[in-house]
Structure 1
Amino acid sequence: GRSFPVDLRHLPRPLRKGVRFDAALADLVVQAAGETEGGILVFLPGEGEIRRVEGQLKGRLPAGCEVRPLYGALPFAQQRAAIAPTDTARKVVLATSIAETSLTIEDIRVVVDGGKARRARFDPSSGMSRLVTEPVTRAEATQRAGRAGRVAEGTCYRLWTKGEEGALRAYPPAEIEAADLAGLALELALWGAQPGDLAFLTPPAPGSYAEAQSLLRMLGALDRENRITPHGKALAALPLHPRLAHMLAMAGPDAAPLAALLAERDPLPRGAPVDLTLRLAAVRDPKQFAGRSPHQPSRPVIERIRAEAKRLAKSARRASQGAMSDAAAAGLAYPDRVGLRRKGDAPRYVLSGGKGAILPEEDPMAGTRLIVATDLDGDRREARIRQAIRIEEAELRALFADQIGWQDICEWDRRERRVTTRQQERFGALALDDRVWKDPPPDAVAQAMLDGVRDLGMSWTDAARRFVARVELLREAGEDLPDMSEPALLDTLEDWLLPYLTGVKTAQDWKRFDILPALRARLDWDQIQRLDAKAPAHFTSPLGRDIPIDYSGEHPEISLRLQEMFGQTTHPTVGRTPLRVTLLSPAGRPVQTTMDLPGFWASSYADVRKDMRGRYPKHPWPEDPTVADPTLRVKRRRD
C-alpha cells in the first residue's frame, strides 16, 4: 500500500494547433527516455493510438529500449510480456487505462500521460452505446501518475500545461450515468421497485431509464404499465443483457453460440468484414475457419465464447417455434436494428428504429438489401455498422408478422417541395413495399400542406398585407381583434387556414394562393364593420376610383396621379388622421409627397407645374388646380 513521491512535469506551453496527438506524445516519450532511468508506462486512449505511437517511436529511442503494447484485445502471452519484469531491456509500455488502477508493472519508474481517456457512453436517443475520447479527469491523472511511484520514487510527464490542468473535470462520470440501463430496469421491475425506492449514490437519469423501459416493452419483458411479465421473469433468470436473453428464450439452445458471441468482444481482428456469419463459423469450427480465412480470430476470445455457449445452452429451454436461422435469432435480439438499404450507390441503411447507419463501401455485404445490425459505433447522425448479418424478407415477415402492416403516408416533402402521398407496408421505420396513393382524402392533403406552409413561409399578396396592417393598426389602438402578426398566423394555421387549403399541394400552388379570404374570415361581422369604419381599405378619389390605403408605414398612405386630385380642396383623412399622399407624374413617378394638399396647391404646385408642362405637354396643368376637373386623360387636340 505504500506510495513513493512522484515528480510531475508539465508542458511549458500548450501544443500548437495542427500538431497530431500521436506525434506530440511520441516526442514526449523520447524526451522522458533521455532524461530518466527505469521502465516507462505511456497512457493512451485505445489500440489505434497505441499502434500509431509505436510506429512513431521506431528508431528514436535510446539503445536497449523495448516497446511493448498493452491493451485488452492483445493475446494473453503478449500482455504477460508487457507486465513481467525484465533485466535485459528497458521497457516502454504503451497501455490503455487497463494499467491505470490495480495492475502493478514492477520495473516502471516513469509515466507519460497523453491526457485522454476512452469511455463507453449510452445514448438514449439512439438506443446505442458509443465510445468517446475525452480529456482525463484530475482524479484519473492522479491515479496514472501514481503508477510511477509504486516501487520507488518516479517521474510523470503530462502532455498538457499546468494551466490547462485547472480546466479538467474533477472526477470521471459514474458508470450509471453512461451505461445501458436495460438490465437495471429489468431487475427493478422483477423486484417491483422504482429507482426512487432505492438509495442510489447516483440515481439513474430519467431519460435513459425511460429508454431502457421502452426497450423492455418492445421485447415483451414489461407490460404497458412497466410491470414485469412472465417472459420478463424468464429473461431476468438468464445471465445476459435483456436483448440476448430474449433471443435465447425465443430461439432456444441453438442460439447459445450467437448469444455468447454477441456478449463478447469481436474475435476477429480490425479490418475483417462485418458479416456476423464469419464470426459464428470461427466459433463453431475454429480449426476449419483458421485454415480458410485470412482473418485469424483471437484464440482466447473464441475459447471464452465456446465455453459460455455451452453454459448458456444448458440454461435455455427448447424453442417453441422450431429451428431458427442465425439471422432470425439476431432479429429477435435487435428488432430496432433491422436495416433496409436506401436508394443510391452508397451502402446507407435506415434502421427499423428510425436511425441511419452505413456500411464500409468495400465490404462484401455493401449491396445487401436487408440486414440485422448487431454492432454499431453509436454515432448520433449515422452509425457505422461494425457487425451485421443478412436476413431474408421472408424471415423478417415470419418473425414480425404482427408488427408489419400497411400505412397511408401523406406528408410534405421538403426536397420535392410538394405533398407526397404513398401507401407503404412498414415494419417500424422500414418501407418494405411502397406504392403511389392515387386518391388521398382532400383533408389529409390539406393537413400535410400545413407543414409545407411552415416550411415555405407565408405567401403574401399586396391586398393581404394591407388588410393585416389595418388590423394591426386597430389592435395597437386597443381594439379587440385577432393577432395577425406572421408568427401568430403560423402558430394557428390549423384554426384559420386549413379549411381554405383544398387543392393546394405544391410550392407553386401556395405561391399563387390568395390568403386574404381566409384572413377576413377570422373577423366576425361586427369586427369587419369597425375595421372598415376606423381603418377603411380605400380612399375614394375625386374621379370616384377606390385607391388602396397602405397602413404598413408610420402614416396611412395612398399613391395616385396628380391630375386625379384636381378639385380636391381638403386633405384626405382616415377619421381624424391625415393620409400621406404621394402624387405621381403621368409616367407613375413620384412628384410630391404631402400631408397638406391645400398647402401644396398654394405653394409648391407652381414649381411642379413649370417642370411638368415641359415633360408632359399633352397632359393638363392648370394654373388653379382647385377649380379644375380631375382627369386621367390627355388634353383634347385642337382643330
Structure 2
Amino acid sequence: MRLREEASALPVRTALPALERALDGHGAAVLCAPPGTGKTTLVPLALAGRGARVVVAEPRRIAARAAARRMAWLLGEPVGCRVGFTVRGERVVTRGTVVEVVTTGVLLQRLQRDQELAGVDVVVLDECHERHLDADTAAAFLLDVRAALRPELRLVAASATTDAEGWSRLLGGAPVVEAEGTAHPVEVVWAPPASSVRPPHGMRVDPALLAHVASVVRRALAERSGDVLCFLPGVGEIARVAGLLAGLADVEVLQVHGRAPAAVQEAVLSPGRGRRVVLATSVAESSLTVPGVRVVVDSGLAREPRTDHARGLGSLTTVRASRAASRQRAGRAGREAPGVVYRCWTEAEDGRLPRFPAPEIQVADLAAFALQAAVWGDPDASGLALLDPPPAGALAAARSVLAAVGAVDAAGRATERGVRMSRLGLHPRLARALLDGAPAVGARRAAEVVALLSEEPPREYGDDLAAAWRAARRGGDAYGARWRQEARRLTGQLDGAGTPPDGLPDDAVVGTVTSLAFPERVARAKGAGAFLMASGTGAELGDGSRLRAAPWLAVAVADRPPHAASARVRLAAVVDEETARSAARHLLAAGEEVRWEDGDVVARSVERLGAIETAVRPLRDPDPALVRAALLEGLRREGLGLLRWSRESEELRQRLAFVHRVVGAPWPDVSDAALLDRAEEWLDPELSRARRRGDLGRIDAGQCLQRLLPWASGDAARLDVLAPERIEVPSGSRIRVEYGGPQPVLAVKLQEMFGLARTPRVAGVPVLVHLLSPAGRPAAVTADLESFWREGYRAVRAELRGRYPRHPWPEDPATAVPTRRANPRR
C-alpha cells in the first residue's frame, strides 16, 4: 500500500517485522506501543498490505470513526474505500474495504452470527488495557474460534499500557512485541491543589478541585503554546470547568464526550483556526489524535461502573485514574510535537495509584455478558478464556435476570427468544421491553422509548420520561439526532410488528415499556415524594418533580449513594397499578403472614408485588404454628422481659446460673441467649396456647424454668444442696442467699454471726458475707470470717458500739453468744 509520507515517521514501523514474524509463527501477538507511535493506524494498514483482511476493534464509537478516518487519510482516499468502519447504526464499507474498524460490541454481534468470521484474516483488539467487558468477551470468543474452527485466524492484542504478561498467557504464550520510543517527549509538571480537597464520593467531585483544574488550564495557556486537552471524569464536570473558563480571550473551548454532537467531535479531530481548549472524558484517552494539542491537563479522575446486584441498581462512581490511564492521557500531548502534561496531584500520590483500571467484568452488571455466553454455548462462562473470571454472585444475579425475561431456560441455555434478544444490540432488559412492548404500544413507539432508555437523556430534559420523550421528538440537539437514529434502527429490527392502540397517551406508552424493562423497579408512593420499589429499595424524587403526585412509577434510572437509605430517582415514568402488576407478574405473591410487628403479633392475608403490599386483610384464625413462630420472634427481638418474672422466678434463674457456672453439666445455661435458643423446650405448652403479647406476660417464667432442671439424671433434687435459697446462721435465723452477682452474698446482722469462725460455703464457693449494723446497714464485707474476727472486728466495734449501746459488742466475738435481739433495757 502506498501511504502518505507522514506514515514513515511513525515509530511503530520498527516493530512491524517482529509483529509479522510473531503472527506467522504463533498466530497471535501482544503489541505494546506507546501513545502516538501509530499502532492503531499503521499496523492494520501494514497487515492489510500483506494481503490480509483486517478487523480492528475499538472500545468506543468515536475512536472507531477517528481511526478509520486517520487510516483513510494516510492512504489518500475517503473512508469507505480500502478503510471503512461499522458502529451501531452506521456502516461505511464497500467491496474493496480491506481494513474495517468496528466497536467491540459490533464484533461480538458479528461473532454470534458468524463464528468463523469468514473472510477475516486478522483481528486487532485495540486499547485492550481498558478491560472493557465487550473486549474481554470478544477475546475469549476469538480464542474459541481459533481453537475449534479457524486456527489460521490471527489475533493481535494492542495497547500502550497493558498487562502484557497476562495477555500473553491468555493468548497461549503469544510473543510480546514492543515498539520503542514515543513520537515526541512529554514533560511532566506536578500541579496539585494548594490546599486539601475532598476525595470523590459517588458521582460527587469537590468543586474546589474543579476550580483548581480550571486554574491549571489557565496557567498552561500562559506558560505553553499549542492547544490544551483537559481530562475530566464526566459531562457535569466538563460543563462546570467550561463555565469557569468562560471569557478566555481568543480561545475556543470545546466539550467532548460520548454524547457530544457529531459536529463537535468533527471539530475536535480537525485542525483549529485559533487556540483551543478541549475538555474531554476518557473517550479522548486512546485511539484519537487531536490536532494541535501540545498540553494535557489531567484531573486524575475517572468514572467506573458499579452495580448493586441485590437491588438491581447500576451507577457510575468517580475514582482515581490508574497509572495506565494517566500514561495514555499524557501521551496525547506528544502526538505531533514535544509536549507537557500537568498532573493535578503530587508525585508521591502517583506511586499509590492502581496500575490498571478495574476490569469491568468485576464491577459491572453482567446480564449482557451472561446472555452472550449463553448464546455462545457456555452458560456459566466456565470454558471461556478470560483474564479475570466473572464474580459468582454477579453472574448468578445476571442469570436470574435472563430467566425472568425468558432469555434462558432452566439449565441456563439460550432460548430462541434469547438468541433474538442478543442480536438487538441492547441490554437484555431493554431487549425484553422492545419485544414485549411492541405488541402493547406499537413498534415505532416501543422503539422510541427503548432508544430513550438505552442512552440516558440530558439532565435538562428532567426526570419525567414522558416529557423527555416529547423533548427528544421536537428537539434539534445532538441527543435528539442520536435518539432518532437509534429509534429507526430498533424499529427496523421489529419488522413493523405491533399496531399501536388508538389514543394511548404518552404516559401510558412510556410507563408500559419502562416497567417491562425494569419490573423490579415499579414503585408505589409512600408520600412526600417517597416511593417503595418492588425490589424492596426505597426511592425518592427531587423537590419540584411533577412525578411526586403519581401513585405509581416505573423507575428507569436511579442511583443509591453510599450509606443512603433510599435511591435517588433520576428518570421515571408514571404507571398505573394494572400496568405495574402486568410487567412484574413474576413478582406477584399471595399468602398468610403472621409475624411480630410493632410489639405484637400481626396476622393478615397479604397480596404482594415484590416488596409492595397491594392488598391486606386481617386473619381471624391464623395458623397456630405461624403464631408460635411470631411469638418466638417477638421474644428474640424484645427479650425475655415479655414473660412474667416474679421474685421467686428471678431467684431461681440466678441460682441455676450460679450452679451452671460453678458445677457445669448437667446444670443448664440460663443466659438470655441460651434461654431464647431453647425457648420452645422450656416454654411449651404455655407458648403454644399464647396468641398475643399479653399472653406472654401471663406465662410464669419460673415455673417454666423448672423444666430445664436435670430431672432425668436425678440431679435436680440437689439444687437446694448446691445452691440453697437460705442458710441457717449461728443465731438460728435462716438468711436468704443472693446469687445475682459474681459471688453468692449473705447479708446478715453482725451479732447473729458471733461464734462462727469459718465462712459458709455453697457448692464449695465461700459466700461473701455482708455484716450489717443493728440498723441494717453494711458494717463490713468479708469472705474470710476468721480473719475478720481477728483483725477487722475491733475497728467496727470501736465505731459502732457507742452508736448502738443496746446491742452486744463483746471483746471476743468468737466465744460470744449469737443473738437477733438487743440487750434488755435496764
The two structures share one fold, judged by TM-score above 0.5: yes
How far apart are residue 591 of structure 1 and its match? 1.0
SS in 1 for 2:314: strand
The answer to whether the aligner puts 1:311 opposite 2:495 as a matched pair is no
Query: Is 2:534 the counterpart of 1:348?
Result: no
The answer to which of 595-604 and 206-215 deviates more is: 595-604
Quote the Cα distance in structure 1 between the aligned partners of 2:418 and 2:361: 22
Looking at structure 2, the residues matched to 349 and 228 of structure 1 have their Cα atoms a distance apart, in angstroms, of 35
CA distance in 2, matches of 1:599, 1:157: 83
Structure 1 Cα separation of the partners of residues 192 and 519 of structure 2? 53
Question: CA distance change for structure 1 residues 636 and 319 in 2, over 3 Å: closer, same or farther?
Answer: farther
- Contact kept, 8 Å, 2:449 with 2:513, in 1: the verdict is no
- SS in structure 2 opposite 1:32? helix
Matched, 1:385 2:569: yes
Change (3 A) 1:314 1:339: same
Could you tell which deviates more after superposition, 307-316 or 497-506?
497-506
The amino acid that maps onto 1:473 is V
C-alpha change, 1:427 and 1:610, in structure 2 (3 Å) is: same
Q: What do residues 483-542 of structure 1 show as CA deviations (whole Å, max 9, x unaligned)?
A: 555555566656656866565966x99899875555553332134345544444542345
Q: Is contact 1:268–1:297 with CA below 8 Å preserved after alignment? A: no
Asked whether 1:200 is paired with 2:386, we answer yes
Q: Which amino acid aligns with 1:548?
A: V
Q: What is the CA–CA distance in structure 1 between the aligned matches of 2:559 and 2:765, rounded to whole Å?
A: 68
3-state SS of 1:521 partner: helix
Contact preservation (8 Å) 1:370, 1:392 = yes
Equivalences for residues 226-375 of structure 1 within 5 A: 226-229=412-415, 231-236=417-422, 238-253=424-439, 254-255=442-443, 257-264=445-452, 266=455, 268-282=457-471, 286=473, 289=474, 298-314=479-495, 325-342=509-526, 344-345=527-528, 347-375=529-557
Q: Does 1:219 align with 2:401?
A: no
Q: Which amino acid aligns with 2:209?
A: F
User: Residue 200 of structure 1: SS of its match in structure 2?
Assistant: coil
> In structure 2, what is the Cα distance between the partners aligned to 1:175 and 1:306?
27
Cα distance per residue 1:541-591 (max 9 Å; x no partner): 4545351243743x5432223344456565422255432211122433211
1:262 shift after superposition:
3.2
Amino acid at match of 1:269: P
Distance (Å, rounded) in 2 between the aligned partners of 1:247 and 1:6 = 49
TM-score normalised over the length of structure 2: 0.67
Alignment match, 1:408:
592
C-alpha change, 1:261 and 1:152, in structure 2 (3 Å) is farther
Give, in whole Å, the separation in 1 of the partners of 2:342 and 2:630: 62
Q: Does 1:157 align with 2:157?
A: no
Alpha-carbon distance in structure 2 between the residues aligned to 1:261 and 1:562: 91
1:171 maps to 2:356: yes
Q: Following the alignment from structure 2 to structure 1, what is the Cα–Cα distance between the partners of residues 246 and 216? A: 14
Match of 1:144 in 2: 329
Deviation at 1:118, TM superposition (A): 1.1
**2: distance between equivalents of 1:67 and 1:256?**
38
Corresponding residue SS for 1:469? helix
User: Which residue of 2 is the match for residue 396 of structure 1?
Assistant: 580
Q: CA deviation at 1:457?
A: 5.4
Paired residue type of 1:33: L
Deviations along 1:108-138, one digit per CA (max 9) or x if unpaired, are 1100000000122233222222010000000
Corresponding residue for 1:183?
A: 368
> CA–CA distance in 2 between the matches of 1:255 and 1:552?
78
What does the per-residue CA deviation read over 1:30-55, in whole Å, with 9 as the maximum and x for residues that have no partner? Answer: 11111100000000011111121122
Distance 1:261 1:4 in 2: 48
Q: Of 431, 451, 460, which aligns to 2:613? A: 431
For 2:269, which of 83, 86, 106 is the aligned residue?
83
CA contact under 8 A between 1:378 and 1:384: conserved in structure 2?
yes
5+ long unaligned stretches in structure 1: none
Q: How many residues align?
A: 615
Counterparts in 2 of 1:595 and 1:128: CA distance versus 1, 3 Å: closer
Q: 1:300 to 1:402 in 2, by over 3 A?
A: closer
Displacement of 1:480 in angstroms is 4.7
What is the one-letter code of the residue matched to 2:339?
A: G
Q: Report percent identity of matched pairs.
A: 37
RMSD, matched Cα: 3.6
Q: What secondary structure sits across from 1:373 in the alignment?
A: strand
The equivalent of 1:523 in structure 2 is: 709
* Residue 148 (structure 1) shift: 0.3
Q: Distance in 2 between matches of 1:196 and 1:125?
A: 23
Amino acid across the alignment from 2:658: A
**Is the Cα contact below 8 Å between 1:250 and 1:319 reproduced in 2?**
no
The AA in structure 2 aligned to 1:16 is S
1:9 maps to which of 150, 166, 189: 189
Q: 1:567 to 1:385 in 2, by over 3 A?
A: same
Cα separation, 2, equivalents of 1:530 and 1:409: 46
**Cα contact 1:4–1:151 (8 A) shared by 2:** yes
State the secondary structure of the residue aligned to 2:546.
Answer: coil
2:661 corresponds to which of 459, 466, 472: 472
Mapping of 1:436-475 within 5 angstroms? 436-437=618-619, 440=622, 443-456=625-638, 459=641, 461=650, 463-475=652-664
Please give the per-residue CA displacement for 1:5-38, whole angstroms capped at 9, x wherever unaligned. Answer: 1111113787424671111111211111111000
Aligned match of 1:584 in 764, 772, 780? 772
Residues 160 and 569 of structure 1: CA distance in aligned 2, closer, same or farther (over 3 Å)? closer
CA 1:495–1:248 in 2, change beyond 3 Å: closer, same or farther?
Answer: farther
- Structure 2 CA distance for partners of 1:573 and 1:371, relative to 1, 3 Å: same
Residue type of the alignment partner of 1:366: R
Q: Deviations over 1:411-466 (max 9, x none)?
A: 444xx455544443211100112345565456534533444444445659465344
Q: Shift of the alpha carbon at 1:227?
A: 4.3
Distance in 2 separating the partners of 1:162 and 1:511: 68
Show the counterpart of 2:311.
126
Q: Which stretch of structure 1 is more off in the superposition, 187-196 or 513-522?
A: 513-522
1:35 to 223, 228, 240: 223
Query: Quick one: structure 1 residues 157 and 606, their matched pair in 2 at CA, closer, same or farther if it must change by over 3 Å?
Result: closer
> Would the alpha carbon gap of residues 109 and 511 (structure 1) be closer, same or farther in structure 2, given more than 3 Å must change?
farther
SS in 1 for 2:244: helix
Partner of 1:376: 558
Number of the residue aligned with 2:47 = none
Are 2:233 and 1:48 equivalent residues in the alignment? no
Q: Summarize the Cα distance change of 1:535–1:417 in structure 2 as closer, same or farther, 3 Å threshold.
A: same
